[in-house]
Amino acid sequence: MTRPTATAESARLTTINSVAAVAFTIGGSLFAVGAVLAQVGEVALLTVNITYLVGGFFFSLGGYASVLLAVNGVVRDDDPTNAAIRWWGYQPQRRDWLSAAVLFVGTLLFAVSLVAAFAEGLTPRQSDGWIWFPDILGCICFLVSGHLAMLEVGGGHVGVHVHALSWWVVAVNQLGSVLFFLAGLAAFVRPATSAALDAGLVNWGTFAGAVCFAIGGAVQLFDKPTTTRTVVQHTP
């Protein structure tokens, strides 16, 4: 099997990065639109839920593409399979892979919540169990993923690196994760009233967080990923 050139490997990573960036930009934009529609309240709830669901699909696509980016970002010089894209890989010892994997899990938890939102006649307890709980778990995953990403771009420390484009991507997304988390907390349905703790915070927190992810995705388009090469040392 022919080993790919450095140019081919770079092009492959650039393509994966572009897919992730565009997916997050679209997903964030749709979430922002859904939040505005929910706040205004002049459209059917079904329309709001569909908007969120489609946005959630793009978030999951971006999450999976992020895993692919981490998996294909490290190649072994003695591995002939480097010629083909790797569609999955288990590399928990790497911080960038962990960040991407936790993010992907978070998007899947969001998907559970978004699908459950179509159910009708849920009691407050059922709503909290099927919609709020997976949503808040997804928010926590986003926060954990963002923290790991901050450590990765900071060389093991969380800091400010304004001259690094990758830091801006991670920082803006982490701000979005914080806003999503606050919106998620406010979405808890109180049994006594069958209403969210703060519907305004749910909608505007989601809107602001989604805008952050849309901006982060747009900036990510200009961030050029690089391949890390490893050589396996064989003992005589």
The count of domains in the chain is 1
Residue 127, domain member (yes or no) = yes
- Kindly indicate the confidence band of residue 80, based on its pLDDT and cuts at 50, 70 and 90: low
CA distance 222 to 13: 13
Residue 124: exposure state from Cβ atoms within 10 A (0-12, 13-18, ≥19): middle
Answer yes or no: is pLDDT of 76 > 70. no
75 phi/psi in degrees, rounded to 5 = -125, 150
**Residue 103 belongs to a domain:** yes
Give residues with Cβ within 8 angstroms of 35, minimum separation 6: 203, 204, 206, 207, 210
Establish if 147 belongs to a structural domain: yes
The 10s digit of each residue's pLDDT in 96-117 is 999 999 999 999 999 999 999 9
Strand intervals (E) in the chain = 74-76, 189-190, 195-196, 228-230
Q: Give the pLDDT of residue 1.
A: 41
CB 87 within 8 A of CB 12: no
141-151 per-position pLDDT tens digit? 999 999 999 99
What pLDDT shows up at residue 4?
Answer: 53
Residue 73 DSSP symbol: T
Q: Please report, for residues 29, 45, 56, 102, 137, the alpha-carbon distance to residue 60 in angstroms, rounded to integers and kept in the order given.
A: 14, 22, 6, 11, 15
**Residue 163: domain span:** 6-224
- The reply to whether 234 falls in a domain is no
Reply yes or no on whether the pLDDT at 236 is more than 90: no
Give CA–CA dist 103/146, Å, rounded: 8
Is there a domain that residue 70 lies in? yes
pTM above 0.85, yes or no: yes
In a domain, 99, yes or no: yes
Asked whether residue 45 is assigned to any structural domain, the reply reads yes
List the beta bridge partners of residue 230: 76
The percent of residues above 70 in pLDDT, for the chain, comes to 90
In a domain, 117, yes or no: yes
φ, ψ for residue 20 (rounded to 5)? -60, -45
